[in-house]
Amino acid sequence: MPVPATLWQPGMRITDSRLNAKDYQAGQLLISFTNLSAYTQNNSFPEPFPVAPIMGCEIVSGSGVTGRFEARPINVTATGWTLFVLITDTAEGPDTWVNQPIHWTARMPT
């Protein structure tokens, strides 16, 4: 994964790493848990950001078990974040997930 992009400053030299730098990172997590209404998991970025990035994540499964849940990033830092998955409809109680995909994206603030 390329390093996060550097804000250009007068006098900076052009290098391969700067030309190939990205100001975003993305990935997928496969989440499993048993009989829970909420779940958290700590994650590290493949490459640290200079500052805490702007993040988003989503459940990308159409499985019936995921339909009552939402996912969001919390505790975002320059080096990592925590996935927070929670049930939105408690009427039916906790559920079990097996390898449900979560996609995430992180980008440098503008």
Would you place residue 89 in the very low, low, confident or very high pLDDT band (cuts 50, 70, 90)? Answer: confident
- pTM across the whole model: 0.80
CATH class (in words) of the domain with range 24-107: mainly beta
On whether the CB atoms of residues 42 and 52 are closer than 8 A, the answer is no
Q: Which residues contact 47 (CB under 8 A, 6 or more apart)?
A: 1, 2, 3, 4, 25
Residue type, 100: Q
Plot region of 35 (φ>0 → left; ψ -120 to 50 → alpha; else → beta):
left
Q: Tens of pLDDT along 18-77?
A: 666 678 999 999 999 999 999 999 999 998 998 999 999 999 998 888 989 999 999 999
CA neighbor of 80 nearest in space, from 15, 33, 31, 27: 27
Q: What is the pLDDT at residue 82?
A: 98
